């Protein structure tokens, strides 16, 4: 089939590469010329496992261009542009609206491709896109039906291709049988798992075929927000229990396992730590709360999840205060900047909140991150964090290290040697991934999250 994807960000690029790999002819459009030029040369502008490699493999099936390269003779047009959060929590639809206007002004004739909304958008957005496209076409004299489907994406950064090839479900919200059928055909190789597994993304053991769920557009739009909010609530819940575990003398890892093995609860997303971050959870929960406000319906649990998450970042400062007593004049080394391993994304990263708070309190903050440091060096976040080029430079003269991102290499660092470079041997394990026994034996004061 022929598919055009509009937007070459994480979601658009991953979707394009996946659809090209499973056999479709894909064209990807972006208004950012630099991004397009880079992608045409095979340079991937984001740090995402496997995308560069697969881009090379699918080059005969995947092309990139700007709006001038738009060709409507495709089966589906997938909108995958950003929907950043506004100050009031609402999702900003400026990019979605502008794509809808472009499509309305460019789509001609009586046979239109199905328009698929993959961007995370508020309730009613499929209908809104449909009406904008129809309005912009009103002078064409054509009554061809404009079909807009809501097909939310559930991929995780750092595991984006894996999640695209092996999803749990594909959700298609539409009132048009024709459109649902097109989506079923687009996703057929994934629904039936008929594609050859890419070398570095083997099919997970025990993987079962994904469900194809058809819903109304409104349900599909709500499913996306509800899924992200549920996961964030789950993490905030375990973090709240972690706070209590510390006070009563329990170990949150034992508690999480003890409750997570109950199949009704499940183990994933029960890792206590510095809390959730990233471009999606905070933005999407705020958007859900905003939708609730519009209906005068307070989203109590969703708001609580945000509050717990905020407190979780402050807890790291409290741990440092309890270990060091005085923060002013101290040097703190952050192990990790990205909001999670496997990505260079710093959006809503706990590291930045923690660093800024420490700087406010008079500390000097250094950080080492294997991939995301360039964003601080490029001054994208305007922070006074000093970037260390390796863990030794980070530890040198530090009063404490704080592990914020659980990059696998941090589990193997020579902490005993690093400790010798430090002014005080304090380590805060913000992800509960380090060997506390070995660190204590090496003379460190070790503090985890929810661990005594
Ligand atoms: C999240 C969802 O998991 C995806 O399903 C969704 O498609 C995506 O948002 C989106 O809307 O685009 P992502 O933000 O990439 O994906 O990252 P996750 O792996 O879900 O992690 C989110 C945050 O929760 C990270 O900061 C991570 O460190 C934290 N986390 C995760 C925990 O603190 N504890 C856990 O047990 C799991």
If you average pLDDT over residues 304-319, what whole number do you get?
98
Per CATH, which fold does 224-304 belong to? 1.10.1040
Centroid of ligand 1 to alpha carbon of 276 (angstroms): 7
CB burial class (10 A; 0-12, 13-18, 19+) of residue 366? buried
> Is 280 one of the annotated active-site residues of the chain?
yes
pLDDT score for 118: 96
CA nearest ligand 1 atom 32, residue: 276
Q: Was domain 2-215 assigned CATH 3.40.1160.10?
A: no
Domain ranges for the chain? 2-215, 224-304, 305-447
pTM above 0.85, yes or no: yes
Atom of ligand 1 nearest to the CA of 153: 7
Centroid of ligand 1 to alpha carbon of 269 (angstroms): 8
The ligand 1 site (C-beta within 6 Å) comprises 120, 153-157, 228, 231, 235, 269-271, 273, 275-278, 280-281, 339-340
Confidence of residue 156 (pLDDT cuts 50, 70, 90): very high
pLDDT score for 109: 87
Q: How is domain 305-447 classified at the architecture level of CATH?
A: 3-Layer(aba) Sandwich (3.40)
Q: How much of the chain is helix, strand and coil, in % rounded to 5?
A: 45, 15, 45
Fold match between domain 2-215 and domain 305-447: yes
Centroid of ligand 1 to alpha carbon of 175 (angstroms): 30
Beta sheet of 445-447, edge-to-edge order: 386-387, 364-368, 331-335, 400-403, 426-429, 445-447
389 has pLDDT over 90:
yes
Return the percentage of the chain with pLDDT > 90, whole number. Answer: 94
214 has pLDDT over 90:
yes
C-alpha closest to that of 352 among 429, 275, 293: 275
- The counts of H helices and E strands in the chain are 16, 14
If you average pLDDT over residues 270-291, what whole number do you get?
97
Confidence of residue 138 (pLDDT cuts 50, 70, 90): confident
pLDDT score for 452: 84
Atom of ligand 1 nearest to the CA of 343: 15
Pocket test for ligand 1, best of 154, 281, 284 (most atoms within 8 A of CB): 281
């Amino acid at each position: 089939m022929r598919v055009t994807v509009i937007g070459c960000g994480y979601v658009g690029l991953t979707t394009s590469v996946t659809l090209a790999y499973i056999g479709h002819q894909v064209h990807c459009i972006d208004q950012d010329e630099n991004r397009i030029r880079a992608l045409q040369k095979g340079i991937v502008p984001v740090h995402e496992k496997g995308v560069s490699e697969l881009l090379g493999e699918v080059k005969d099936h995947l092309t990139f261009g700007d709006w001038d390269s738009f060709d409507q003779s495709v089966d589906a047009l997938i909108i995958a542009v950003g929907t950043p959060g506004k100050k009031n929590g609402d999702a900003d639809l400026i990019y979605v609206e502008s794509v809808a206007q472009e499509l309305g002004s460019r789509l001609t004739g009586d046979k239109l491709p199905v328009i698929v909304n993959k961007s995370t958008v508020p309730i009613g957005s499929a209908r809104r896109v449909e009406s904008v496209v129809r309005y912009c076409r009103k002078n064409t004299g054509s009554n061809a039906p404009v079909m807009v489907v809501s097909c939310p994406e559930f991929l995780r950064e750092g595991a984006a291709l894996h999640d695209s090839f092996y999803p749990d479900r594909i959700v298609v919200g539409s009132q048009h049988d024709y459109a649902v059928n097109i989506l079923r055909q687009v996703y057929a190789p994934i629904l039936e798992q008929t594609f050859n597994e890419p070398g570095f993304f083997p099919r997970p053991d025990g993987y079962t075929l994904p469900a194809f769920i058809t819903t109304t557009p409104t349900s599909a739009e709500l499913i996306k927000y509800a899924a992200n909010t549920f996961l964030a609530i789950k993490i905030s819940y375990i973090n709240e229990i972690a706070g209590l575990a510390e006070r009563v003398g329990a170990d949150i890892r034992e508690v999480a396992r003890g409750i997570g093995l109950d199949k009704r609860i499940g183990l994933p997303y029960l890792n206590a730590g510095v809390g959730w971050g990233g471009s999606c959870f905070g933005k999407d929960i705020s958007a859900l709360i905003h939708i609730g406000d519009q209906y005068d319906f307070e989203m109590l649990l969703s708001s609580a999840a945000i509050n717990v998450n905020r407190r979780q970042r402050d807890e790291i400062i409290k741990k440092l205060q309890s270990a060091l007593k005085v923060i002013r004049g101290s040097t703190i080394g952050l192990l990790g900047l990205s909001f999670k391993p496997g990505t260079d994304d710093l959006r809503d990263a706990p590291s930045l909140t923690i660093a800024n708070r420490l700087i406010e309190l008079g500390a000097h903050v250094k950080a080492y991150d294997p991939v995301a440091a360039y964003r601080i060096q490029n001054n994208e976040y305007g922070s006074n964090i000093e970037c260390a080029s390796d863990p030794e430079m980070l530890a040198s003269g530090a009063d404490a290290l704080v592990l914020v991102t659980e990059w696998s290499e941090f589990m193997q660092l020579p902490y005993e040697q690093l400790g010798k470079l430090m002014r005080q041997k304090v380590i805060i394990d913000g992800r509960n991934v380090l060997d506390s026994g070995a660190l204590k034996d090496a003379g460190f004061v070790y503090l985890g999250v929810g661990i005594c």
